[in-house]
Structure 1
């Protein structure tokens, strides 16, 4: 006979874990199934480990450039195993915290390690690591299985031992020459990181620009900055074949505007996008609908077409960010437990690319504003004009804001030191419906990065 629970959560991610806790505190009997590691992608092979290693790369850069600040030091050398060990220590502490929260602090949660497969609309079979099975049924089921690296159908690629965003974090030796297939957020962060550690790095991208969804000025500034760090680029390249010889060298054969090129390196990172982890869930047994890419279709309350079944986080269509997955939890929590009508549609979309400088984004880009035919004004200012930038030596990048006809901010791009934090300030101003005039005349402490907003809004011009 199947074991009955009030709620079943498949996947221990940034939406599933807090939901399990909230439901248990409300008196619900909860089962949480995880087939890999508690904590989901963010903790285990996403945000947290990457940012921990980026911190080491930034420290390496600070030492390497210390003479510019009048500080004499020996040229730095990276102990890559120590970098990885530091990352592993941080992540293990986070994993332990998640496990303690789910298994010790609330008796209403049962954690099952194994793979879940639907056997019906409200029933799931869990196959444990030892092969044993357990049938579970629940009136409420929440799918929070996330995504994994999308692998393009390139000849020879599947036969090579290429790296993904997950396996690259397990390296113990620094790559001599890292080839990165893909010029998106993941690829750029790893590119700058490994270049600063001392690897030669080449980014191969099919589009003509990095970050093809951003405005052209953002793409150009990012490429210029990474180029200054020594990252090499092959843009507008269609990779047609990948090979890996016995000596461990990768060769990518790519078609470019200049003709065929052969790119060789010691390691290959594939970072061309993500795909949902839905192909082995048995969704057809439950009648759960997906789109052509396998993402689970949901409404504004994150309900699937099957009553009582929800999809949270990256597994449904839309932007894939940890903070949105956590907000999915809040949407479901409020609708189910607090009887509040809360929607996942039309919510703010802040995000940060953690290169140095950081790229912080909120609201509309200039391309999006033009596509929507909006009447807007735009202000752009090089970061080098900011007093704090000159004092700290972090003068790279620029700031851009868009303002509507009522003087309200509709979008911001901050490519700057502390770009994510400055962007968050603008997001707060947008949420509070402050006008650009108020920010331009606001008294900020001197000398801070916030003070840049005084000067930025003074440069507004008609688009």
Structure 2
């Protein structure tokens, strides 16, 4: 007979873990199932390890350029990747152990290790990792939080080479001589800059004519210029057609020749990284048995309250197509929990339908975005105001010696509501929150423009930026 629970949570990512605990705290007998490592993508192969690498890379970069701040460092600056990895592993371990301890100690929560597959709309079979017999569970409420994995393109020769993803590249203990990155979006650019600052030669293969196609062209070009100054090479309009192993030239079987379309010369890489997107982990969950459909990308359609078409089943986090970030996954948890446990008392139901998208690209300087881009505003046809300001006008940026980038904001000319903003510049990932909060509050841009900010900070120039709004033509 299946074990009966009030709720089952599949996955322990940034949405699933706190939801399992909240369910238990509210008297729900809850099962939480993890087939791999606790903490999900963010803790294990996403935010936590990559930002640890970003920090190490920045330390090396600052040390190499210390003379610009009047600091003399003698000798070559080198990076011990094994020590960088060890530091990263310790940070991951602390977080992973913390999540597991939290879940195992939570009230009314039972933790299961293994691969969960639906056996019906409200039943799950767990295939244990350690060879133990399968276990059958059932529950009135099931929450899917299984995350994503890297997309690997289908290319001739790929079965004959050793390639890397954002996960496996983090296992290296020796620096690549020449890292070739296929892809030009967030993950690709973060790794490109990190390993260039570590000391590797880095070439980025871009299928189109520019990086970061989701952003306005001026921001993409500005960031590209930063990368070129740091010695990162780009191959634009390049389409890999075939991969060829180069025997022992990489020392560990990693050397690859990347053949490109047309007359473009091939690239020889000591290490090849594919950063060509991610796909949801939904194809091995037995969703057909539950009557749960997915779209052409493998995403589970949900309504504004994150419910699937099957009553009593929710999908949260990266698998639902409502945002592929840690903060959107956590917000999913907050929406679901509020509707389950607070709506009756408050009379208010929460929805992700009106959520303003926010994110950052954690390159250096970071690029942070909230709401609409200039391109999107122009496509909407609405009457708008626009303002831009170079980071060279920001006193704190000049004092830090980091003036690359600029700010841009867009405002609805009639309602005075901020439509969106992007900041490419030092501490932009923090400064953007003043605009995020203003948008969330539904306040006109004048509220932020008239606020008194602390000097000297990056944020203090945002009111000045808003003072420069002009009609967009």
* TM, length-normalised to structure 1: 0.97
SS at match of 2:382: coil
Return the alpha-carbon distance in structure 2 between the equivalents of residues 332 and 407 of structure 1.
32
Partner of residue 382, structure 1: 390
In the TM superposition, residue 348 of structure 1 has moved relative to its aligned partner by 1.6
Task: Tell me, in whole angstroms, the C-alpha distance in 2 between the residues paired with 1:430 and 1:395.
Answer: 27
CA 1:334–1:438 in structure 2 vs 1: closer, same or farther (change >3 Å)?
Answer: closer
Residue 401 of structure 2 is aligned with which of 380, 386, 393? 393
Q: Deviations over 1:208-265 (max 9, x none)?
A: 1101111110110111111111111111111111122212321111126xx3320111
Deviates more, 1:413-422 or 1:431-440: 431-440
Pairing of 1:254-333 with structure 2 (within 5 A): 254-255=260-261, 259-333=263-337
1:407-445 Cα distance to aligned partner (Å, 9 max, x none): 321110100000111111111122233433343343222
Cα distance, 1:325 vs. partner? 0.5
Cα distance in 2 for partners of 1:111, 1:282 equals 21
For 1:318 and 1:170, the matched residues in 2 are separated by 30
> Alignment partner of 1:24: what SS?
helix
The Cα shift of 1:388 comes to: 1.0
3-state DSSP of counterpart to 1:81: helix
Q: Which runs of 5+ in 2 are unaligned?
A: none
Deviation by residue 1:122-146 (Cα, 9 ceiling, x = unmatched): 1111010123200111111111101
Give the aligned partner of residue 33 of structure 2: 33
Q: State the 1:310 CA deviation.
A: 0.9
Of the structure 1 ranges 122-131 and 38-47, higher mean CA displacement relative to structure 2 is found in: 122-131
CA distance in 2, matches of 1:432, 1:92: 38
- d(CA) in 2 for partners of 1:341 and 1:277? 29
Question: What corresponds to 1:24 in structure 2?
Answer: 24
TM-score relative to the length of structure 2: 0.95
CA distance in 1, matches of 2:229, 2:299: 38
Between the aligned partners of 2:322 and 2:276, the Cα distance in structure 1 is: 17
Structure 2: how far apart are the matches of 1:454 and 1:315?
38
1:137 lines up with 2:142 in the alignment: no
Q: 2:257: which partner in 1?
A: 251
Deviations 1:377-434 (A, max 9, x none): 1111110111111111011101000011133211101000001111111111222334
User: 3-state SS of the aligned residue for 2:205?
Assistant: strand
Deviation at 1:342, TM superposition (A): 1.3
Q: 2:449 is matched with which residue: 422, 440, 445?
A: 440
Q: Hey, what does 2:224 align to over in structure 1?
A: 223
CA contact (8 A) 2:258 2:266 kept: yes
Aligned to 1:204: 205
Q: 2:150 — aligned with what?
A: 149
3-state SS, counterpart of residue 252 of structure 1: strand
Alignment partners' CA distance in 2, 1:121 and 1:293: 22
Q: Counterpart of 1:76?
A: 77
In 2, the alpha carbon distance for the partners of 1:61 and 1:293 equals: 39
Deviation at 1:177, TM superposition (A): 0.6
SS of the aligned residue for 1:401 comes to strand
CA distance in 1 between partners of 2:451 and 2:301 (Å) = 44
Q: Secondary structure at the match of 2:142?
A: strand
Q: Secondary structure at the match of 1:5?
A: strand
CA separation of 1:442/1:301 partners in 2, compared to 1, >3 Å: closer, same or farther? closer
TM-superposed CA distance for 1:306, in Å, is 1.1
Contact persistence 2:428–2:458 (CA under 8 A):
no
Question: Residues 218 and 280 (structure 1 numbering): CA distance in 2 closer, same or farther, change over 3 Å?
Answer: same
Question: In 2, distance between residues paired with 1:32 and 1:204?
Answer: 41
* Deviation of the 1:299 alpha carbon: 1.2
SS at match of 1:180: strand
CA contact (8 A) 2:193 2:363 kept: yes
2:160, 2:145 → 1: CA distance?
30
Cα separation, 2, equivalents of 1:201 and 1:122: 49
**Deviating more after overlay: 39-48 vs 287-296:** 287-296
Shift of residue 205 of structure 1?
1.5
In structure 1, C-alpha distance between the alignment counterparts of 2:341 and 2:387, rounded to whole Å:
44
Structure 1's unaligned 5+ residue stretches are none
Please, which of 307, 315, 334 is the counterpart of residue 338 of structure 2? 334
CA offset digits 1:305-325 (Å, max 9, x no partner): 111111110011233111000
Q: Distance in 2 between matches of 1:337 and 1:158?
A: 50
Is 182-191 or 426-435 further displaced after alignment? 426-435
1:455 aligns with 2:456: no
Whether contact under 8 Å (2:323, 2:329) holds in the other structure is no
Counterpart CA distance in 2 for 1:158 and 1:374 is 50
Q: Distance in 2 between matches of 1:431 and 1:282?
A: 38
Q: Which moved more, 1:361-370 or 1:444-453?
A: 444-453
In 2, the alpha carbon distance for the partners of 1:89 and 1:374 equals: 50
Q: Which residue of 2 aligns with 1:190?
A: 191
Distance (Å, rounded) in 1 between the aligned partners of 2:84 and 2:370: 32
